[in-house]
Amino acid sequence: MSTITLSKADAAGVRTDAVVIGVVKVGGGVTLPAGTESLNAAYGGKLVEVLSGLGATGKAGEVTKVPGPKPGKSATLIAVGLGEAPDGALKTEDLRTAAGAGVRAAKTSQSVAFALPTPDADCIRAIAEGALLGRYAFTAYKSSDSAPETAGNLTVLTDLARNKDARTALERAEVTADAVRQVRDWVNTPPSDLNPADFAAEAAKLGKEHGVKVEVLDEKALTKGGYGGILGVGQGSANPPRLIRISYTPKKAVTHLAFVGKGITFDSGGLSLKTASGMISMKADMAGAAAVIGATVAIARLGLPVQVTTYAAMAENMPSGSAARPSDVLTMYGGKTVEVLNTDAEGRLVLGDALVRASEDQPDLIVDVATLTGACVVALGTKVAGAFANTDTARDRVVDAAVAAGEAMWPLPIPAEMLDKLKSHSKVADLANITGEPWGGALAAAAFLGDFVADGIDWVHLDVAGPAFNEGSASGYTPAGGTGYAVRTLVELAASAG
């Protein structure tokens, strides 16, 4: 595990394996941001020329390495592009990305210092998050000979090292990054080692460690409570489902947030079987549940004055002789009936139960997080989540939090006709779990979920099917595999409310 500190040490004189600096794109060349004056002097005032000669363009995330200026001090200088800053102000997300790219470029260096611009505490937090998250590697299943070493000492060089706001920002970055790393670990774990009961036990252990109340409903309690959606999805698996409730209740809370997460620990599609290639990344179908659990614990660790009640609906969707069949009717928690016309549209079924239960707590806002539809990936790609809501105010509040946290998100509508189609598509139940049409799948799924939220409660649905799992190569602070998407948005949402 890496540690991170703040220091007022001079970038040219600090003893470290590597120093990461930024390079700003300007016109047809590059320039150095404030804070690199001493380093530039150490290179005889020709650092820009050196970097330009090596092909540096300042493009965001681009890495250029040069030997350190003083033998015995920093061994390597790592210059990372920060993109353009036409108004002179750098975006915190560019700093976060630069720190992540820089620490990845440093590979197994045991000490890395960051001489990136830190005009305020928000920039310090972004750099610290990027550094800690860029250092992440999932090595649990690697042999000791092949597992990369990722521990080490990270230092943010800043004139604000002794500033109270800067220290608070660093603490938040450490706690948030720790939560994101935990979520990444869960998402990356093979489903054979993280079934619903395992997942619930992991969440309970984490909650106990950090002083939040955790309750777990097993299959008997789910049956007694009438959670037909969760039970229906999980009935085809040898591993029974779970519903976990986590509650953080500080004194004098300024608002009450409810988080709901989809926790399908493996999704085969059920009897509506996925293709072989379509199943490969389906261990990640519990990323929403992982994110809401991780965020809740982080909020509690930070002591934010916001009450949080979290529900993670966990099941394994498998085909077997006991699996739910297309045309089966499930009675959901709360009494509504759903005809299951496609068993691969299962996430909305477990979430429906959890949303009704969350509504009973009467929170001020419910946010659900789910790797829900391939249709959202078709619409927005693999880097951007879709944000749906029952009020524009609630949606904008969450999207604003995402922007501040550096997570890409885009508002999408819930046309009223979608719910009408879900209702009319079943001739025997209150509604079907699909519309039967090949288009608008993400919108239909959102409409389905919205029907399980109690009247008068603000609700936002985040479809994170694209950004929750990176099937490509690592870049910036984002690794291959589980990304931990939505943790930072939810923590920012709570922090901005407090």
Q: Where are the alpha helices (DSSP H) in 135-267?
A: 164-188, 196-209, 219-225, 228-234
Q: 294 and 484 in contact (C-beta within 8 Å)?
A: yes
Single-letter residue type at 279: M
Q: What are phi and psi of 162, to 5 degrees?
A: -100, 5
Q: Where are the alpha helices (DSSP H) in 361-470?
A: 374-380, 392-405, 416-424, 441-450
Q: 244 and 212 in contact (C-beta within 8 Å)?
A: no
Cα 337 vs. chain centroid, distance in angstroms? Answer: 32
In whole angstroms, what is the distance from residue 294 CA to residue 302 CA? Answer: 12
410: left (phi over 0), alpha (psi -120 to 50) or beta: beta
337-340 and 328-331 beta bridge pairing: antiparallel
431-432 and 458-463 beta bridge pairing: unpaired
Q: What are phi and psi of 198, to 5 degrees?
A: -60, -45
Catalytic (active site) residue 274 = yes
Q: Which of 30, 37, 36 is nearest to 53 (CA)?
A: 30
Q: 108 and 32 in contact (C-beta within 8 Å)?
A: no
Catalytic (active site) residue 162 = no
In whole angstroms, what is the distance from residue 151 CA to residue 489 CA? Answer: 26
Q: What are phi and psi of 368, to 5 degrees?
A: -105, 145
Q: Where are the alpha helices (DSSP H) in 62-191?
A: 92-105, 121-134, 164-188
Catalytic hit among 167, 274, 383, 423: 274
Q: What are phi and psi of 496, to 5 degrees?
A: -70, -25
Q: 84 and 26 in contact (C-beta within 8 Å)?
A: yes
The packing angle between helices 196-209 and 287-302, to 10°, is 10
Q: Where are the alpha helices (DSSP H) in 266-361?
A: 276-279, 287-302, 347-360
Catalytic hit among 348, 357, 397, 421: 348
Q: 386 and 410 in contact (C-beta within 8 Å)?
A: yes
337-340 and 365-370 beta bridge pairing: unpaired
Q: What six digits make up the tokens of 142?
A: 């690697």
Which residues are catalytically annotated?
A: 274, 348
